[in-house]
Amino acid sequence: MTNMHKATEFRLEARPRIPEVLERLDELANDLFYSWDPGVRGLFARIDLTLWQKVEHNPKLFLRRVAQERINETIESRAFLAEYRRVLSSYDAYLAAEPGPEVTEKLNPETSLVAYFCAEFGFHESFPIYSGGLGILAGDHCKAASDLGLPFVAIGLLYCQGYFIQSIGAQGQQIARYQSHSSDELPIRLAEKDGKVLRVSVPFPGRNIVARVWEARVGHIRLYLLDSDTDENNAEDRNLTHRLYGGDESTRIFQEMLLGIGGARVLQALDLHPTAWHINEGHAAFQILERCRRVMDEGLSFEGALEAVAGSTLFTTHTPVAAGHDVFPRELVEHALGAWLEESGLDFDKVFAMGIKPGQDAFNMTSLGLRGSRFHNGVSRIHGSVAAKMEGDIWPQIPPDENPLGYITNGVHVPTFLAPEWSSLFDIQAPNWKSELRNPEFWEFIEQIPDYHYWSVHKALKEQMSDFVVRRLKRQHSRNGTGRSVTERMARQLTTTDKDPLVIGFARRFATYKRATLIFSDLERLEKILTDPDRPVVLIFAGKAHPKDSPGQQLIKVVHDLSMQPSLMGHLILLEDYDQAMARRLLSGVDVWLNTPEYPKEASGTSGEKAALNGALNLSVLDGWWGEGYNGENGWAITPRNIDLDPEFRNVEEARDLLDLLEYEVVPLYYARASQGYSAGWVKRSKASMKTITPRFNSERMVMDYVSNYYQPATRQGRQLMADNGKLAAELAEWKARVREAWPEVTLNVQGCVESQCAYDETVELRVEATLNGLTAADVRVECLVTPECTGTHNGLAPNCFLLEKEDDEDGKTVFATQLRPSYPGLQTLRLRMYPYHEALTHPLEMGAMLWV
């Protein structure tokens, strides 16, 4: 039956006229500089605070919706105009700043360019094309690249519906909703080349898919985003880029083809020629294939092209968790890449071999990324070594601790995540702090801040956070129909100000390995800790679970149900729709940031770093970044139990540690308040945390590590390999083929016997003989590793390495020898080994081949 009263509604948006004096607001709204500059955001807030909050801090939407009267009033305000001019001049100064010598000595801006590929980017809540840590990290990486003035360009996809918006219903069920964003409410514009709108196409099965390209400004750098919603495409293809991590595996592979193959084509179309290519997680790894194809046009074989491409490429892996690695069935890959392969003249089997992993008859994007790059890293020390083991099959004969997979620990963008209240205080205390972000000694200035002043900043931020939490809590529960009195009780701990309870935050994706519910393992004990009337504690939880992750969603329900229990009410709060805005609020307002991942699955984690910048204390399992950050005085640590033990047992043990720490250390320290109203011991610990963590775990340090360890060497290596139309790349590929062919029959044995005793100042002769099966002595390296036995003084020393030189060839055997002088007095272990070696290798062990005696 039709509803007679229901009229169709037409929406009309009458946009205000922005007068000439305020014209540059549009420019500010179109540069993600606003995402880290509180001055810019402050301008919009000053014009109309209510609207600014209503449009969720979206400058472009704000400028469309702001009332004409507000604009007219604003231009009458001299104070506003003065602030506006100040912000503009600081923006102009930022854009005019030249990169420092530290950068230009490593990457010449005239001749080098880094291209950074990622499936998601999280700059700000107004630009929702991210889901969590990976995206925020990519955003922070771009921001730091801009701050440093790096020659840098980023490539991603534009998802007009982004990731989902989360509600939590009255039964604790997660409800996912998608909202479309039109391009004119996002800080992007269509990219142009020579006055024409840029489009690229990628061969898909039976058709070409045509993508538009959007440009986002991030200060000095540009991010290009592909979007398949164009007239040329069929309805299904137009939907391809609607959602981040949506659809099925076929959606996923086509998205990734658009990102990798299309992304490389965008750079080509823009006439940009990167010298170092950074693939941030496997989603973008198809770019390797497209680049190989292009190098092959210059006359190289696929193998030769691969050497050239890989030599200029860095691949970063971000998680040991299986769900984070895309694995596609053979048939799907063959189908999806078919048309592209045909156009490229490439052989499917060769391409498929790039993505195989032992034990999987499928195509693994991480394996492709690793085989197509010569630089590889994980994102913390612990994760680096876990990833080296996990991906060890790429270098089958190399011990994982020596294979080429290294690490750079993640850091966070300080201007984005440091609350403006702290940065104002730093401006007074240490005016040039922004240029000292990588100088740990400089950060000793934190100690000079008087305790009461330090605490008052934290207290003010904590109050703002509490207001925010209470507001969101009421909104959520009034929608769910929760009674007023219940909602009041839930908010009570945060609204009665006389107690100033200890507030602990836990907000992140609800993935099972993050063990959100570990703290509830012993409910009775937890309840006692939280609800002591003299020393109350409030736990705040937030986070999304992927719509297909039902165990993750189950965790949300468990936390929700507990939060509604009368005994915990008010001491446990669950907020919906965690995003960057909420993250900034919570991280800068809580006293303690809790993280209890299942070791060693937290590759890095970065939210704890953000909390530390703002003076919160970390209480975490020693995993990810905290494994390096914790020094005994700057927070609290839970030592993970041996991973071979039963998981249930580990949970119980680690949960007990957690509750012990809370009961005996955290709560007593927080409540050791003297008459001044705060705990001096707490402030001491918080200062120790802020000053040790800020200068080490920030994105500027991280990006400079990438420059020194990877971007500069990749630029150099790529150039060498590609010089003279790829002469060296071709030579290297041929050499590798020869080695691969010969290696299975190569042998290595000791000649004679190795002395078992000698005087400390004597030398020992070492002789080995090798059958090289057609290789020559110049194709290999033979070495002896000398490791001291554990004698107390030499425990844990790295082995010394001695090269053996070729002595002669006899009867088809090549003899290598050296006179070894013992490295250490006392007992030591000698191990002899041989591996293929060529000067043009990026890493000496990259072939993955090694023989031991």
Ligand X SMILES: *Cc1c(COP(=O)(O)O)cnc(C)c1O
Write down the least CB distance from residue 130 to ligand X, Å.
8
Q: Which stretch binds ligand X (CB under 6 A): 201-209, 234-242, 296-304, 577-585?
A: 577-585
Write down the least CB distance from residue 508 to ligand X, Å.
3
* By the rule CB under 6 A, 605 interacts with ligand X: yes
Residue 705 exposed, middle or buried by CB count within 10 Å (0-12, 13-18, 19+): middle
Cβ closest to ligand X, residue 466 vs residue 606: 606
HSE-CB for 308 with a 13 A CA cutoff: 32
Cβ closest to ligand X, residue 580 vs residue 720: 580
Cβ closest to ligand X, residue 179 vs residue 747: 179
Write down the least CB distance from residue 703 to ligand X, Å.
16
Say how far apart CA 460 and CA 425 lie, in whole Å. 13
- Is residue 835 within 8 Å of 847, Cβ to Cβ? yes
CB neighbours (10 Å) of residue 1?
3
CA geometry: angle at 65 spanning 62 and 66, to 5°?
80
Closest by CA position to 580, among listed 464, 700, 413, 424: 413
Cβ closest to ligand X, residue 364 vs residue 595: 595
Write down the least CB distance from residue 605 to ligand X, Å.
4
Write down the least CB distance from residue 377 to ligand X, Å.
17
Q: Which stretch binds ligand X (CB under 6 A): 131-139, 193-201, 380-388, 466-474?
A: 131-139
Q: Which stretch binds ligand X (CB under 6 A): 203-211, 316-324, 554-562, 599-607?
A: 599-607
* By the rule CB under 6 A, 583 interacts with ligand X: yes
Q: Map residues 307-346 to x or -, x wherever contact with ligand X holds by CB under 6 A.
A: ----------------------------------------
CA geometry: angle at 641 spanning 638 and 644, to 5°?
155
Cβ closest to ligand X, residue 228 vs residue 620: 620
CB neighbours (10 Å) of residue 273?
11
* By the rule CB under 6 A, 380 interacts with ligand X: no
Say how far apart CA 412 and CA 418 lie, in whole Å. 10
- Is residue 738 within 8 Å of 314, Cβ to Cβ? no
* By the rule CB under 6 A, 304 interacts with ligand X: no
Extended beta strands in 624-663, E state = 635-638
Q: Which stretch binds ligand X (CB under 6 A): 248-256, 344-352, 388-396, 603-611?
A: 603-611
Say how far apart CA 611 and CA 604 lie, in whole Å. 14
Say how far apart CA 699 and CA 123 lie, in whole Å. 13
Distances (CA, A) of 638 to 112, 611, 658: 44, 18, 7
Cβ closest to ligand X, residue 583 vs residue 590: 583
- Is residue 226 within 8 Å of 266, Cβ to Cβ? yes
Write down the least CB distance from residue 410 to ligand X, Å.
9
Evaluated on CA atoms 244, 246, 249, 254, the torsion sign reads negative
Cβ closest to ligand X, residue 166 vs residue 606: 606
- Is residue 253 within 8 Å of 239, Cβ to Cβ? no
Identified binder of ligand X from the candidate list 87, 113, 136, 667, rule CB under 6 A? 136
Cβ closest to ligand X, residue 132 vs residue 570: 132
- Is residue 116 within 8 Å of 153, Cβ to Cβ? yes
Extended beta strands in 58-151, E state = 114-117
* By the rule CB under 6 A, 606 interacts with ligand X: yes
Write down the least CB distance from residue 607 to ligand X, Å.
3
* By the rule CB under 6 A, 597 interacts with ligand X: no
* By the rule CB under 6 A, 579 interacts with ligand X: yes
* By the rule CB under 6 A, 629 interacts with ligand X: no
Write down the least CB distance from residue 494 to ligand X, Å.
21
* By the rule CB under 6 A, 57 interacts with ligand X: no
* By the rule CB under 6 A, 580 interacts with ligand X: yes
Q: Which phi and psi angles does 152 have, rounded to 5°?
A: -155, 140
Cβ closest to ligand X, residue 615 vs residue 788: 615
Write down the least CB distance from residue 30 to ligand X, Å.
23
Helices marked H in 241-329 — which ranges? 249-257, 263-269, 287-296, 302-311
Q: Map residues 630-659 to x or -, x wherever contact with ligand X holds by CB under 6 A.
A: ------------------------------
Provide the b/e sequence for 386-420 (b: ≥16 CB within 10 Å).
bbbebbbebbebbeeeebbbbbbbbbbbbbbbbbe
Q: Which stretch binds ligand X (CB under 6 A): 86-94, 343-351, 601-609, 833-841?
A: 601-609
Cβ closest to ligand X, residue 254 vs residue 626: 626
Q: Which phi and psi angles does 10 have, rounded to 5°?
A: -110, 135
Cβ closest to ligand X, residue 403 vs residue 476: 476
Q: Which phi and psi angles does 43 have, rounded to 5°?
A: -60, -45
Cβ closest to ligand X, residue 133 vs residue 262: 133
Cβ closest to ligand X, residue 367 vs residue 698: 698
CB neighbours (10 Å) of residue 97?
13
* By the rule CB under 6 A, 132 interacts with ligand X: yes
Cβ closest to ligand X, residue 281 vs residue 579: 579
Say how far apart CA 508 and CA 519 lie, in whole Å. 15
DSSP 606: -
Closest by CA position to 30, among listed 183, 175, 237: 183
How remote is the C-alpha of 640 from its chain's centroid?
23
Evaluated on CA atoms 713, 717, 718, 720, the torsion sign reads positive
Number of residues that bind ligand X (CB under 6 A): 11
Residue 88 exposed, middle or buried by CB count within 10 Å (0-12, 13-18, 19+): middle
Q: Which phi and psi angles does 369 have, rounded to 5°?
A: -60, -40
CB neighbours (10 Å) of residue 120?
26
* By the rule CB under 6 A, 695 interacts with ligand X: no
Cβ closest to ligand X, residue 71 vs residue 119: 119
Write down the least CB distance from residue 164 to ligand X, Å.
14
- Is residue 130 within 8 Å of 280, Cβ to Cβ? no
Write down the least CB distance from residue 704 to ligand X, Å.
20
Write down the least CB distance from residue 175 to ligand X, Å.
19
Cβ closest to ligand X, residue 367 vs residue 595: 595
Write down the least CB distance from residue 554 to ligand X, Å.
19
Q: Map residues 496-515 to x or -, x wherever contact with ligand X holds by CB under 6 A.
A: ------------x-------
Write down the least CB distance from residue 625 to ligand X, Å.
9
* By the rule CB under 6 A, 133 interacts with ligand X: yes
Q: Which stretch binds ligand X (CB under 6 A): 71-79, 128-136, 473-481, 787-795?
A: 128-136
For ligand X, the binding residues (CB under 6 A) are 132-133, 136, 508, 579-580, 583, 605-607, 610
